[in-house]
Structure 1
C-alpha cells in the first residue's frame, strides 16, 4: 500500500490524518513504507461502547493542520458500517482540500454502507468484531501483534 500511495502522490506533499486511537499502529507502519515527503496529523472520534456502535459519532480531537488545497489521506484502522468514515469525509471535505483519499487497514465489505470509493484497502474481513494491532475492545487488546476475532477466537 505504501508503494501505491507513494506513486500516486509523488510531488504532491500529502497530509496523512490518522483516526485515533485505532489507526496508530497501522499508520506508523504505513508511514514507514512511504517514500515521499508528507505530513501527518490526527483526529479522534468515538462511536463504540463495547462491541456495539453507539449510533452517534463524537468528535474528541480535531485536526490541527490546515488542509485547504492539500491532498489528504484519511488513515483508518477499520471500516465497519461506514458511519465513522462518512462523518470524517464530510468533516475534512468541509475544509476544502484538493483531494481526500482513504487508506484503511481492514474493511468489512458485507456491512459497509458508504457512498464513495475506498482508495487503499489492506484486507477485507467478514463481519466479526476484531481486536489487536490497534483495534480494541473497551480500550483493551490494542497491543496484540495480530488481529483476532472475539467471536470465533481465531486469527483473522
Structure 2
C-alpha cells in the first residue's frame, strides 16, 4: 500500500470515528441544569460531580476509541513511521472533531441565554470540556488528549506486542 493511500485511509478512519463519537457523546450525556440570576447562569446543584460529567464521559468514550483505532492502524505492518505520524495527527483531528460535533449537537451556551431570561429560570448547561464558569474558553481542556493518548497506546502496543504473532519465523 502506498504512503498516500495509507495516510488517506487512516485519516478517514479517525475522522469518521471522531464524528461518530461526538454524536455518541452528546447522546449519552445528561445535560446539567442551572438557574439564571441577574443575567448570569449558575449551576444548580453546584459541585464537581455535576460540572465535570461531560468531561468524564468524553474521556470514557475517547480513550477506548483511540486504543481501538490505534490497534486497527497498526495491523498493517509496513511504513511504521508514516503510520505513527498519521495516527498522531489524525487522532488530534478526531478528538477536536468529536468535541465540535458533540458541542454543536448539545444545548446552546446558557450564559448567553441567561442575559435575556428572568431570574430563577431553569436552563440546561452546554456540552463543553471545562467547568461552566463564564470566563472559561469552552475547548481549553486536557481532555482533548484522551483520544490521541489512547490511539498512540494502541499503536505502540500493536508494534511492540503484535509483531511476534504476525511475522514469520526465520527457518535458517
TM-score normalised by structure 2 residue count: 0.29
Structure with the larger strand share:
1
Compare relative contact order (CA 8 Å, sep 6+) and give the higher one, 1 or 2.
Answer: 2
Structure number with larger C-alpha Rg: 2
Structure with the larger helix share:
2
TM-score normalised by structure 1 residue count: 0.32
